[in-house]
Amino acid sequence: MEMRFVSTGSYLPEQVVDNDFLSRIVDTSDEWISSRTGIRQRRVVTAGEGTACMAAKAATKAITRAGIDPQDIDLILVATMSPDNYLPNTACEVQAEIGAVNAVCYDLSAACTGFIYALNTAYAFIKAGIYKTVLIIGSEVLSKMLDWNDRSTCVLFGDGAGAAIVQATDIGLFESILGSDGKRKDALTCASRYIVNPLVSKAISLSDKESLDYVRMEGQEVFKFVVKTIPGTIQQVIEKAGCTKEEIRYYVLHQANQRILESVAKKLKEPIEKFPMNLDKYGNTSSASIPILLDKMNKKNKLNRGDKIILSGFGGGLTWGTTLIEW
Ligand code: UT7
């Protein structure tokens, strides 16, 4: 069995935060943010919105466009590093919201590579003949994980969700290279809760317990890692698939930084026009960035059956993944 994309959907919160707004709360400027990253705006949730509800909204659009019955979905995978709750998982919350009563549901955490890992998990289940219809979602509320006093991170990220329905099919193309390097785990971090139980001898002060950690990033380390690693994985995947780069219609990369995309394009000697971008509008939405971009392209009828597309994600862990698909 092979796998093909059937439909996409996305949801972005309505609240727009532009660079000028940020320059009023931290020592930054529109000039710095846009020239160093390409980001001009991002969307941020307001009260009542969350990771699961955005995921469900993106999923509903994908289901409607696919014209399938939610009861036909066998598996729901949500890639997120910002779930609303430790329990239940986001995928179960989505299941309840959309009525996908027959689905197995779980979350997958791989930072900005999450959607690519989830896509590969879906492929493995479909290839093995276990499931036929899978709903894959990337959804993030990163705004709650940011230190809004830290200009080196708060200007980069945004909230949003993207979804795709993939299904078993007879013929298709799917080649991947995935990787992880836990030795470089400190490049991107955000700690969870302190251990507090009757066996922990160290007394934890109330202020310790209450002080939450926020996203920290060694930006240049991550930048260098991406530019060094990702072009090679793209070349290898194209070779594995027996294709040439001339046959690749688009390189849909994780939307972290325009300069990263330009460097990758230059290394591959490919025109930047083959690298669609929307980070100017939405910032870095981590696991949601690739499915949001795919959905925006899909809505503009830019994706045609038979198009060969590279999808590539990279981020905390460190983790990375590059996949060649045929639309
Ligand atoms: O999605 C997960 C994967 N993440 C990524 O792929 C991100 C990869 N990294 C990057 O995109 C870039 O490294 C950043 C956009 C995060 C930073 O750009 P940079 O060109 O690497 O800047 P830098 O960190 O080297 O900082 C340069 C200067 C510093 O000042 P000094 O030390 O030169 O005086 C920073 O303090 O820019 C300063 N700076 C800022 N200035 C104004 C850092 N953030 C800001 C800011 N506004 N928001």
pLDDT value at residue 156: 98
Under 8 Å between Cβ of 69 and 127: no
Cα 223 to averaged position of ligand 1 atoms, centre (Å): 10
In this structure, the residue with its CA closest to atom 19 of ligand 1 is 220
In this structure, the residue with its CA closest to atom 13 of ligand 1 is 219
pLDDT value at residue 231: 98
Burial of 55 from C-beta contacts in 10 A (0-12 / 13-18 / 19+): buried
pLDDT value at residue 196: 73
Which ligand 1 atom sits nearest the alpha carbon of residue 155? Answer: 48
Quick one: which H or E segment has residue 6?
strand 2-11
Domain ranges of the chain: 2-170, 175-183+215-326
Residue 125 exposure: Cα atoms within 13 Å on the Cβ side: 20
Task: Please give the sequence-ordered ranges of beta strands (E in DSSP) within 261-307, or none if there are none.
Answer: none
175-183+215-326 has the same fold as 2-170: yes
Task: Give the orientation angle of helix 258-268 with respect to helix 30-37, to 10 degrees.
Answer: 20
For 2-170, which CATH superfamily applies?
Thiolase/Chalcone synthase (3.40.47.10)
pLDDT value at residue 106: 98
Mutation to probe ligand 1, out of 27, 223, 224 (largest number of atoms < 8 A from CB): 223
Mutation to probe ligand 1, out of 220, 221, 284, 287 (largest number of atoms < 8 A from CB): 220
Active site annotation includes 254? yes
Q: Kindly report the number of other CB atoms within 10 A of residue 64's CB atom.
A: 11
Catalytic residue among 154, 254, 257, 298: 254
pLDDT in tens, the chain (327 residues): 999 999 999 999 999 999 999 999 999 999 999 999 999 999 999 999 999 999 999 999 999 999 999 999 999 999 999 999 999 999 999 999 999 999 999 999 999 999 999 999 999 999 999 999 999 999 999 999 999 999 999 999 999 999 999 999 999 999 999 999 999 999 999 998 777 777 776 656 555 555 689 999 999 999 999 999 999 999 999 999 999 999 999 999 999 999 999 999 999 999 999 999 999 999 999 999 999 999 999 999 999 999 999 999 999 999 999 999 999
Residue where the block lists tokens 């995921």: 55
Active site annotation includes 278? no
> What is the SS3 assignment for 170?
coil
Quick one: which H or E segment has residue 128?
none
pLDDT value at residue 199: 77
Distance CA 138, CA 123 (A): 16
Per the DSSP assignment, residues forming a β-bridge with 227 are: none
Cα 152 to averaged position of ligand 1 atoms, centre (Å): 6
CB contact set of 277 (below 8 Å; sequence gap of 6+): 38, 255, 258, 261, 293
Q: In this structure, which topology does domain 175-183+215-326 adopt according to CATH?
A: Peroxisomal Thiolase; Chain A, domain 1 (3.40.47)
CB contact set of 161 (below 8 Å; sequence gap of 6+): 10, 11, 12, 51, 54, 55, 57, 58, 137, 138, 139, 140, 288, 291, 292
Helices (H) and strands (E) in the chain, counts: 11, 13
Which ligand 1 atom sits nearest the alpha carbon of residue 152? Answer: 44
Distance CA 110, CA 320 (A): 9
Distance CA 92, CA 190 (A): 24
Cis, peptide link before residue 291, omega less than 30° from 0 = no
Question: What residue ranges line ligand 1, CB within 6 angstroms?
Answer: 28, 32-33, 36-37, 112, 151-152, 155, 219-220, 222-223, 226, 256-257, 260, 284, 286, 315
Q: Kindly report the number of other CB atoms within 10 A of residue 171's CB atom.
A: 8
Active site annotation includes 243? no
From residue 238, give the alpha-carbon distance in Å to each of 78, 210, 294: 27, 49, 20
pLDDT value at residue 209: 54
In this structure, the residue with its CA closest to atom 20 of ligand 1 is 36
Per the DSSP assignment, residues forming a β-bridge with 284 are: 157
In this structure, the residue with its CA closest to atom 16 of ligand 1 is 219
Mutation to probe ligand 1, out of 18, 33, 36, 320 (largest number of atoms < 8 A from CB): 36
Task: Give the orientation angle of helix 51-66 with respect to helix 289-299, to 10 degrees.
Answer: 30
Task: Give the orientation angle of helix 114-127 with respect to helix 289-299, to 10 degrees.
Answer: 80
